[in-house]
Amino acid sequence: MTEAVTSAAAPAPADFIRDIVAEDVAARRYAKIVTRFPPEPNGYLHIGHAKSICLNFGIARENHGRCNLRMDDTNPAKEDVEYVDAIIEDVQWLIAGWADHCLGFKPKGATPAAQVTDGRPDFYLGAAPGPDGAEPFFASDYFGPLYEFAVTLIGKGRAYVCDLSPKETEEYRGSPDKPGRDSPFRTRSVAENLDLFARMKAGEFPDGARSLRAKIDMASPNIWLRDPLLYRIRHTAHHHTGTQWCIYPLYDFAHCLSDYLEGITHSICTLEFVDHRALYDWLLESLGLPRALPHQYEFAKLNLGYTLVSKRKLLQLVQEKIVSGWDDPRMPTIAGFRRRGVPAAALRQFAYAIGVTKFDGLTDVALLEHTIREELNRTALRRLAVLKPVKLVLTNIPAGEVIACDATNNPQDENPTTRSVGLTREIYIEADDFAEVPPPKYFRLKPGGDVRLKYACIITCQEVVKDAAGRIVELHCTADLDSRAGGPNAARKVKGTIHWVSATQSIAAEVRLYDRLFNVPEPDADGAFLTHVNPHSLEIVTARIEPALAAAAPGQALQFERLGYFAVDAKAGTPGRLTFNRTISLKDTWTKGPAPK
Applying CB under 7 A, among 279, 314, 331, 356 the residue interacting with RNA is 356
Q: Which helix (H) or strand (E) holds 336?
A: helix 334-340
Residue with Cβ nearer RNA (67 or 304)? 304
Applying CB under 7 A, among 6, 92, 111, 377 the residue interacting with RNA is 377
Residue with Cβ nearer RNA (40 or 426)? 40
- The CA distance from 580 to 568, in Å, is 4
Least distance from RNA to the Cβ atom of residue 305, Å: 7
Residues 6+ apart with CB under 8 A from 415: none
- The CA distance from 288 to 267, in Å, is 19
The closest alpha carbon to 525, from 269, 310, 274, belongs to: 310
**CB burial of residue 410 (10 Å; 0-12, 13-18, 19+):** middle
Applying CB under 7 A, among 158, 291, 388, 454 the residue interacting with RNA is 454
Residue with Cβ nearer RNA (463 or 526)? 526
Least distance from RNA to the Cβ atom of residue 444, Å: 5
143 in Cβ contact with 71 (< 8 Å): no
The closest alpha carbon to 483, from 394, 400, 384, belongs to: 394
102 in Cβ contact with 62 (< 8 Å): no
Applying CB under 7 A, among 4, 562, 570, 579 the residue interacting with RNA is 562
1 in Cβ contact with 33 (< 8 Å): no
Which string of DSSP letters, residue by residue, matches 84-141? HHHHHHHHHHHHTTTTGGGEE-EETT--PPPEEETTEEE--------STTEE-EEGGG
Size of the site for RNA (CB under 7 A): 94
Q: Does 208 bind RNA (CB under 7 A)?
A: yes
Q: Does 366 bind RNA (CB under 7 A)?
A: yes
Instruction: Please report, as residue ranges, which positions from 415 to 444 form the binding site for RNA (by CB under 7 A).
Output: 441-444
Residue with Cβ nearer RNA (370 or 391)? 370
Least distance from RNA to the Cβ atom of residue 371, Å: 8
Least distance from RNA to the Cβ atom of residue 76, Å: 9
Applying CB under 7 A, among 3, 7, 10, 16 the residue interacting with RNA is 16
Q: Does 597 bind RNA (CB under 7 A)?
A: no
567 in Cβ contact with 340 (< 8 Å): yes
Long-range contacts of 201-204 (CB under 8 A, 24+ apart): 201/147, 201/245, 201/246, 201/247, 203/235, 203/246
Nearest-5° Cα angle at 12, 69 to 126: 30
Applying CB under 7 A, among 324, 460, 478, 497 the residue interacting with RNA is 497
Least distance from RNA to the Cβ atom of residue 485, Å: 4
User: What is the DSSP code (8-state) at residue 496?
Assistant: -
Alpha helices, DSSP H, located in 138-276: 143-155, 166-173, 190-201, 251-261
213 in Cβ contact with 180 (< 8 Å): no
Least distance from RNA to the Cβ atom of residue 33, Å: 18
Q: Does 561 bind RNA (CB under 7 A)?
A: yes
Q: Does 484 bind RNA (CB under 7 A)?
A: yes
Residue with Cβ nearer RNA (122 or 406)? 406
Residue with Cβ nearer RNA (525 or 540)? 525
Least distance from RNA to the Cβ atom of residue 173, Å: 4
Applying CB under 7 A, among 44, 251, 306, 337 the residue interacting with RNA is 251
Q: Does 22 bind RNA (CB under 7 A)?
A: no
Applying CB under 7 A, among 373, 425, 532, 597 the residue interacting with RNA is 373
The closest alpha carbon to 298, from 275, 318, 281, 320, belongs to: 275
Instruction: Please report, as residue ranges, which positions from 181 to 200 form the binding site for RNA (by CB under 7 A).
Output: none
Q: Does 75 bind RNA (CB under 7 A)?
A: yes
- The CA distance from 337 to 94, in Å, is 11
The stretch near RNA (CB under 7 A) out of 24-32, 165-173, 319-327, 388-396 is 165-173
Q: Does 285 bind RNA (CB under 7 A)?
A: no
Q: Say how many C-beta atoms besides its own lie within 10 A of residue 138's C-beta.
A: 23
Applying CB under 7 A, among 7, 115, 175, 187 the residue interacting with RNA is 175
Least distance from RNA to the Cβ atom of residue 169, Å: 4
233 in Cβ contact with 223 (< 8 Å): no
Residue with Cβ nearer RNA (88 or 353)? 353
Query: What angle, rounded to 10 degrees, do the helices at 81-95 and 47-62 form?
Result: 50
50 in Cβ contact with 99 (< 8 Å): no
* b/e burial code for range 548-582 (CB count within 10 A of at least 16 → b): ebeebeeeebbbbbbbbbbbbbeebbeeeebbbbb
Applying CB under 7 A, among 51, 452, 512, 516 the residue interacting with RNA is 452
Least distance from RNA to the Cβ atom of residue 118, Å: 30
Least distance from RNA to the Cβ atom of residue 224, Å: 6
Q: Does 236 bind RNA (CB under 7 A)?
A: no
Q: Does 588 bind RNA (CB under 7 A)?
A: yes
The stretch near RNA (CB under 7 A) out of 260-268, 285-293, 324-332, 483-491 is 483-491
Q: Does 358 bind RNA (CB under 7 A)?
A: yes
The closest alpha carbon to 332, from 512, 563, 537, 586, belongs to: 537
Residue with Cβ nearer RNA (27 or 359)? 359
Applying CB under 7 A, among 52, 68, 211, 506 the residue interacting with RNA is 211
Give strand pairing partners of 138: 71
Instruction: Please report, as residue ranges, which positions from 38 to 57 form the binding site for RNA (by CB under 7 A).
Output: 38, 40
Instruction: Please report, as residue ranges, which positions from 318 to 347 form the binding site for RNA (by CB under 7 A).
Output: none
Least distance from RNA to the Cβ atom of residue 117, Å: 26
Least distance from RNA to the Cβ atom of residue 562, Å: 4
Applying CB under 7 A, among 344, 456, 578, 584 the residue interacting with RNA is 456
Applying CB under 7 A, among 4, 6, 12, 15 the residue interacting with RNA is 15
Q: Say how many C-beta atoms besides its own lie within 10 A of residue 449's C-beta.
A: 19
- The CA distance from 508 to 3, in Å, is 37
Q: Does 589 bind RNA (CB under 7 A)?
A: yes
- The CA distance from 122 to 190, in Å, is 22
Q: Does 493 bind RNA (CB under 7 A)?
A: yes
Q: Which helix (H) or strand (E) holds 297?
A: strand 295-299
Instruction: Please report, as residue ranges, which positions from 84 to 143 form the binding site for RNA (by CB under 7 A).
Output: none
Least distance from RNA to the Cβ atom of residue 149, Å: 16
